[in-house]
């Protein structure tokens, strides 16, 4: 399932781009016409040159010279107009198609199952969305057009050459493989080096990115100079790859120039002696050189563009892979509306391993009933599978065995329910709430987009967040920074709680923060939670005594199973693990809060 990096691609994958060009058929048609038109004019220019020399210079006629100049000038004007149309349309198409692909890929991505993002690095996916689409844009917008143009110039030029002078054309045709040889040999090396060079630049980027993200860790361990050295090594290795690429490329250019001018000179010599002996007119030789240069230039740009097209094929393939990626979480046809079911939940004989760790069962023959409108506390040591239960209830993953059911008498497995409606009934406050780098208002309103400002503020009040929000520099308009870095852990959780309150769900899943809270914010969060739990089915992963005492029932989890369930008093008597957790975790937790008061 992981995205593979493949080097060279058959150019045929580029045909997949056609579907993205289809909506713009008219523009493509006009572009092609403009392209043919300008190529035709370029070829006609050679005739202008011939006229100029033969009629103007050789016949010593001013009038003829003027005619030839007017002819060439007219062609230039037409050429300019045609070039504008061609350039504008193809650049427009490049931008439009890459924008469309970007949209299509993003639209696909946001609907994919979360485990997809575990098996693929986010940096890799983002780079497809940005770098690969940008590459396509430049390919469609320029390289592709250059390729077409060169193709036409090449064959058109060859035909005109043959028409002008057969003997000299043979010299050219014999010369082409000579020119192509270094292009093929060095071109391949340049291509593979430029691929490497890009990868190493990407490495430099991601290295720097990681350091910036972890800057506090770096400075706290005083690893600045170590990181500087390590980064220096990355940069230098990128440079040395770039240097050898530039060198190969330099050789390539020098070789091509030598061969092209060498064969042109040879041709001039043969052609020149033909002109002297009267076998050929000066104009023919002029036109001939014009076409020969045209053909040589076409060969040169074709060989350059070929590498580009190959890269584009790679980019296209990678994007199409994303575009055709199917979500593992599929809805059945005629899915049931969960609104008609009671908001109680049940996990029945559930066994589940995360796709990235298939050999390790996070939940093992797990059974739990969550009654509608009640508060159930989940307790257990770290790694017991508590958060995993939340993930399955939201159907981010489907269990390998067993079922997650919703409703009482009338119950259905959640994979038969309408997925969006199911998730609309659930709100989650996770241990590390994720916030967007926008302002407070935006982050709370994410819970319900059509909420008015007053409703957002009411939710913030209910979440005991209003007070601290008001003390932020710009109140509700304060930017929170990436992942809410400008807030404390407790404040972040209260924003997340406000967001959940605003969503007004039937089912609430709360993953209590363990350590991020000081006593003051713990008190506020606690108050906020009591507010939000009213009349809802609530599952709360509890790390605090005050929370478990509020719960209607407590389930003790260990190694992916429920090892005990009941009230606090029952469990203290019956469950060894609960007793141990209670003395270690909950009591010391309360002690800690008292100390810090
Ligand atoms: N995304 C994941 N991919 C693979 N393994 C995971 C993932 N999330 C959690 N796990 C593993 O599943 C087990 C249960 O994790 P979790 O439900 O987060 O425990 P808890 O919330 O009780 O601390 C742990 O062994 C953990 O390492
Ligand atoms: Mg957890």
The mean pLDDT of the chain is 86
147-174 pLDDT, tens per residue? Answer: 888 999 999 998 988 888 888 888 777 7
The closest residue, in CA terms, to atom 12 on ligand 1 is: 362
| pTM of the full structure | 0.78
407-426 pLDDT, tens per residue? Answer: 987 889 999 999 999 999 99
The atom number, within ligand 1, closest to the CA of 557 reads 22
Q: How far is CA 53 from the centre of its chain?
A: 57
* pLDDT at 4 exceeding the cut of 70: no
425-456 pLDDT, tens per residue? Answer: 999 988 888 889 889 999 999 999 999 999 99
DSSP reduced 3-state for 381: coil
* Between residues 435 and 205, the one the model is more confident about: 435
Least confident interval from 177-191, 263-277, 500-514: 177-191
385 lines ligand 1 (CB under 6 A): yes
* pLDDT at 9 exceeding the cut of 60: no
Q: Are 164 and 287 in contact (CB under 8 A)?
A: yes
333-363 pLDDT, tens per residue? Answer: 888 999 989 999 999 999 999 988 999 999 9
The predicted structure's pLDDT at residue 138 = 85
The predicted structure's pLDDT at residue 517 = 59
The atom number, within ligand 1, closest to the CA of 560 reads 14
* pLDDT at 401 exceeding the cut of 90: yes
* pLDDT at 184 exceeding the cut of 60: yes
C-alpha–C-alpha distance, residues 167 and 286, integer Å: 15
The closest residue, in CA terms, to atom 2 on ligand 1 is: 354
The predicted structure's pLDDT at residue 597 = 35
DSSP state of 583: I
C-alpha–C-alpha distance, residues 573 and 120, integer Å: 47
Least confident interval from 2-11, 38-47, 480-489: 2-11
Class of domain 9-165+312-326: mainly alpha
The predicted structure's pLDDT at residue 10 = 66
3-state SS track over 439-497: EHHHHHHCCCCCCCHHHHHHHHHHCCCHHHHHHCCCHHHCECCHHHCCCCHHHHHHHHH
The predicted structure's pLDDT at residue 55 = 82
382 lines ligand 1 (CB under 6 A): yes
* pLDDT at 187 exceeding the cut of 50: yes
The atom number, within ligand 1, closest to the CA of 357 reads 4
102-139 pLDDT, tens per residue? Answer: 999 999 999 999 888 887 777 678 778 888 888 888 88
- Region of 273 (left: φ > 0; alpha: ψ -120 to 50; beta: rest) is alpha
The predicted structure's pLDDT at residue 27 = 95
Q: How far is CA 506 from the centre of its chain?
A: 34
Over the range 448-459, which residues count as b (16 or more CB within 10 Å of their CB) and which as e? beebeeebbbbb
39-70 pLDDT, tens per residue? Answer: 999 998 888 888 888 887 777 788 888 888 88
To test the pocket of ligand 1, the residue of 362, 384, 559 to mutate (highest count of ligand atoms within 8 Å of its CB) is 362
Q: Are 248 and 189 in contact (CB under 8 A)?
A: yes
Which pLDDT band, with edges at 50, 70 and 90, does 397 fall under?
Answer: very high
Percent pLDDT > 70 in the chain is 94
C-alpha–C-alpha distance, residues 572 and 582, integer Å: 8
512 is catalytic: yes
* Between residues 571 and 68, the one the model is more confident about: 571
Identify the CATH number of the domain defined by range 434-504.
3.40.50.300
């Amino acid at each position: 399932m992981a995205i593979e990096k493949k080097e060279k691609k058959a150019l045929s994958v580029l045909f997949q781009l056609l579907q993205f060009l289809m909506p713009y058929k008219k523009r493509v048609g006009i572009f092609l016409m403009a392209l043919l038109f300008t190529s035709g004019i370029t070829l006609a220019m050679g005739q202008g040159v011939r006229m100029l020399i033969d009629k103007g210079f050789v016949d010593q006629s001013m009038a003829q010279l003027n005619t030839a100049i007017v002819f060439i000038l007219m062609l230039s004007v037409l050429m300019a107009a045609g070039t504008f149309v061609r350039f504008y349309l193809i650049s427009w198409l490049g931008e439009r198609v890459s924008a469309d692909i970007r949209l299509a890929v993003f639209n696909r991505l946001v609907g994919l199952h979360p485990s997809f993002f575990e098996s693929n690095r986010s940096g890799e996916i983002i780079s497809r969305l940005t770098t690969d689409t940008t590459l396509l844009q430049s390919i469609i917008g320029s390289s592709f057009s250059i390729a077409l143009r060169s193709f036409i110039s090449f064959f058109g030029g060859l035909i005109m050459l043959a028409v002008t002078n057969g003997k000299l054309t043979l010299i050219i045709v014999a010369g082409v493989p000579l020119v192509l040889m270094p292009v093929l040999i060095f071109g391949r090396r340049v291509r593979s080096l430029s691929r490497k060079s890009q990868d190493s630049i990407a490495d430099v980027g991601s290295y720097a990115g990681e350091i910036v993200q972890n800057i506090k860790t770096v400075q706290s361990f005083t690893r600045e100079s170590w990181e500087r050295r390590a980064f220096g090594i990355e940069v230098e290795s990128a440079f040395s790859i770039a240097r050898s690429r530039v060198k190969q490329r330099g050789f390539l250019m020098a070789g091509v120039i030598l061969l092209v001018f060498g064969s042109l000179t040879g041709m001039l010599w043969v052609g020149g002696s033909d002109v002297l002996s009267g076998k050929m007119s000066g104009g023919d030789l002029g036109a001939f050189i014009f076409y020969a240069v045209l053909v040589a230039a076409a060969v040169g740009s074709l060989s350059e563009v070929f590498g580009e097209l190959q890269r584009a094929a790679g980019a296209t393939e990678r994007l199409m892979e994303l575009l055709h990626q199917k979500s593992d979480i599929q809805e059945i046809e005629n899915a049931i509306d969960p609104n008609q079911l009671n908001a109680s939940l049940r996990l029945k004989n559930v066994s589940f391993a995360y796709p990235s760790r298939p050999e390790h069962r996070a939940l093992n023959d797990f059974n739990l009933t969550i009654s509608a409108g009640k508060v159930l506390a989940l307790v257990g040591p770290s790694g017991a599978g508590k958060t995993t239960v939340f993930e399955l209830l939201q159907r981010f993953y489907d269990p390998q065995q067993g079922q997650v059911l919703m409703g009482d008498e009338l119950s259905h497995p959640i994979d038969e329910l309408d997925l969006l409606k199911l998730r609309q009934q659930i709100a989650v406050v996770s241990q590390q709430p994720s916030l967007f780098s926008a302002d407070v208002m935006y982050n709370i309103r994410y819970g319900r987009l059509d909420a008015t400002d007053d409703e957002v503020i009411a939710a913030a009040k209910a979440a005991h967040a209003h007070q601290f929000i008001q003390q932020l520099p710009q109140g509700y308009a304060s930017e929170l920074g990436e992942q809410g870095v400008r807030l404390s852990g407790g404040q972040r959780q209260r924003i997340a709680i406000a967001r959940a309150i605003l969503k007004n769900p039937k089912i609430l899943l709360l993953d209590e923060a363990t350590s991020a809270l000081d006593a003051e914010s713990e008190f506020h969060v606690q108050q906020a939670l009591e507010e939000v739990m009213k009349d809802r089915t609530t599952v709360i992963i509890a790390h605090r005594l005050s929370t478990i005492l509020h719960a209607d029932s407590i389930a003790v989890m260990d190694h992916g199973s429920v090892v005990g369930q009941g009230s606090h008093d029952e469990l203290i008597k019956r469950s060894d693990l609960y007793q141990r957790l209670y003395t270690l975790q909950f009591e010391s937790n309360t002690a800690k809060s008292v100390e810090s008061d």
